[in-house]
């Protein structure tokens, strides 16, 4: 089995998790910028975090032959302070050319507030000006439907945004249809409690087909399972999905989306001595 983990917060995980992921067939891991478990007090705190996910984490993953990529932004949880958000956005362009940076994310809404929406629009504009891929976080549970609608409107209001270069993550049964119908990619997050179980994720594949869909663990500082993609693959096989179909869902789909960024070239990592 081979798979790509397109959404994991490895700064919160142990090195043992890297070992277990690689042993389970992980071919690449991608780390969106997000809340680090505490609110940072200044833009300098974000600069240190951007250095961590562009320098330290790629080296930690490389010890196990695992390519590590990342996305940059100020997350919605810390976007309520628009002044701080502007300072952090001003830092991002100096990091965009780093070899493991794939784009802007995970941006989006948390409580659907006016300030969050303003910062979301600033991020969309930044991505458009620098021709970056976008990864969007959608709110949890009761805020998800409204937040997804607001996010789709904000993306469509910017004429420079191409839907096929945007993934809307954490979709569920009631939001996946509107995301795919609008031409965006959709991500299903396998996370206990607040998000999707493996069985529900497979139900979504069986209901909506497999185009423009990926799955991820979003493992972070909370109770979460870094191996939830291979566990879901095992459940797909048990339900009768072929090995080829599983490979298409957990490797080829994320590969297709992420390869729109020219830095996502896994062959570069496969034969480092050549
Ligand atoms: Zn996340």
Give residue 142 CA to ligand 1 midpoint distance, Å. 18
Residue 274 has pLDDT above 80, yes or no: no
pLDDT of residue 194: 62
Q: What are phi and psi of 233, to 5 degrees?
A: -60, -40
Strand boundaries in 195-264, DSSP class E: 213-216
User: What DSSP element (H or E) covers 187?
Assistant: strand 185-189
Strand order in 213-216's β-sheet? Answer: 3-5, 26-32, 68-72, 101-108, 133-137, 166-168, 185-189, 213-216
Degrees, nearest 5: CA angle 48-114-147: 90
Residue 121 has pLDDT above 80, yes or no: yes
* Distance separating alpha carbons of residues 131 and 134, to the nearest angstrom: 9
* Distance separating alpha carbons of residues 74 and 46, to the nearest angstrom: 8
Give residue 34 CA to ligand 1 midpoint distance, Å. 6
Cβ atoms within 10 Å, residue 80: 16
Kindly give, in sequence order, each residue whose CB lies less than 8 Å from that of residue 79, ignoring residues fewer than 6 positions away: 85, 110, 115, 116, 119, 120
Read off the pLDDT of residues 166-186 as tens digits, 9 standing for 90 and up: 999 999 889 999 999 999 999
Give residue 49 CA to ligand 1 midpoint distance, Å. 15
Kindly give, in sequence order, each residue whose CB lies less than 8 Å from that of residue 215, ignoring residues fewer than 6 positions away: 187, 188, 189, 190, 201, 229, 232, 249, 250
Lowest-confidence region among 48-52, 166-170, 173-177, 207-211: 207-211
Residue reference for tokens 């050319």: 97
Whole-structure pTM over 0.85, yes or no?
yes
Token pair belonging to 184:
């965006």
Read off the pLDDT of residues 59-88 as tens digits, 9 standing for 90 and up: 999 999 999 999 999 999 898 999 999 999
Give residue 274 CA to ligand 1 midpoint distance, Å. 35
Residue reference for tokens 């996502």: 264
Strand boundaries in 95-141, DSSP class E: 101-108, 133-137
Give residue 245 CA to ligand 1 midpoint distance, Å. 26
Lowest-confidence region among 19-23, 87-91, 134-138, 195-199: 195-199
Give residue 273 CA to ligand 1 midpoint distance, Å. 33
DSSP-assigned beta bridge partners for residue 187: 214
Q: What are phi and psi of 209, to 5 degrees?
A: 80, -175
Give residue 247 CA to ligand 1 midpoint distance, Å. 23
Token pair belonging to 210:
């497999």
Read off the pLDDT of residues 235-269 as tens digits, 9 standing for 90 and up: 999 999 999 999 999 999 999 999 999 999 998 77
Give residue 219 CA to ligand 1 midpoint distance, Å. 8
Residue 22's alpha-carbon distances to 2, 26, 99, 271, in angstroms, are 9, 5, 21, 16
Token pair belonging to 44:
């300098």
Region of residue 117 (left: phi > 0; alpha: psi -120 to 50; beta: else): alpha
Dihedral sign for Cα atoms in the order 236, 9, 52, 70? positive
């Amino acid at each position: 089995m081979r798979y790509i983990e397109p959404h994991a917060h490895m700064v919160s995980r142990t090195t043992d998790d890297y070992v277990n992921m690689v042993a389970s067939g992980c071919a690449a891991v991608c780390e969106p910028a997000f809340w680090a478990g505490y609110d940072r007090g200044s833009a300098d705190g974000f600069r240190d975090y951007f250095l961590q996910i562009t320098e330290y984490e790629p080296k930690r993953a490389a010890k196990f032959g695992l390519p590590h990529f990342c996305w940059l932004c100020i997350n919605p949880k810390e976007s309520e302070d628009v002044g701080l958000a502007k300072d952090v956005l001003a830092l991002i362009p100096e990091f965009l050319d780093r070899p493991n940076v794939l784009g802007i994310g995970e941006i989006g809404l948390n409580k659907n507030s006016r300030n969050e929406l303003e910062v979301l629009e600033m991020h969309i504009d930044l991505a458009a000006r620098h021709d970056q891929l976008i990864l969007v976080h959608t709110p949890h549970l009761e805020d998800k439907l409204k937040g997804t609608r607001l996010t789709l409107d904000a993306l469509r209001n910017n004429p420079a945004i191409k839907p096929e270069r945007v993934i809307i993550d954490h979709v569920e049964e009631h939001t996946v249809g509107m995301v795919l119908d609008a031409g965006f990619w959709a991500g299903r997050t396998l996370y206990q409690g607040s998000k999707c179980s493996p069985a529900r994720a497979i139900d979504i594949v069986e209901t909506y087909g497999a185009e423009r869909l990926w799955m991820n663990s979003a493992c972070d500082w909370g109770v979460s399972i870094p191996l939830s993609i291979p566990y879901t693959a095992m459940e797909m096989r048990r339900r009768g999905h072929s090995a080829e179909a599983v490979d298409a869902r957990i490797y080829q789909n994320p590969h297709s989306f992420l390869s729109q960024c020219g830095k996502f070239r896994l062959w570069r990592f496969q034969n480092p001595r050549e």
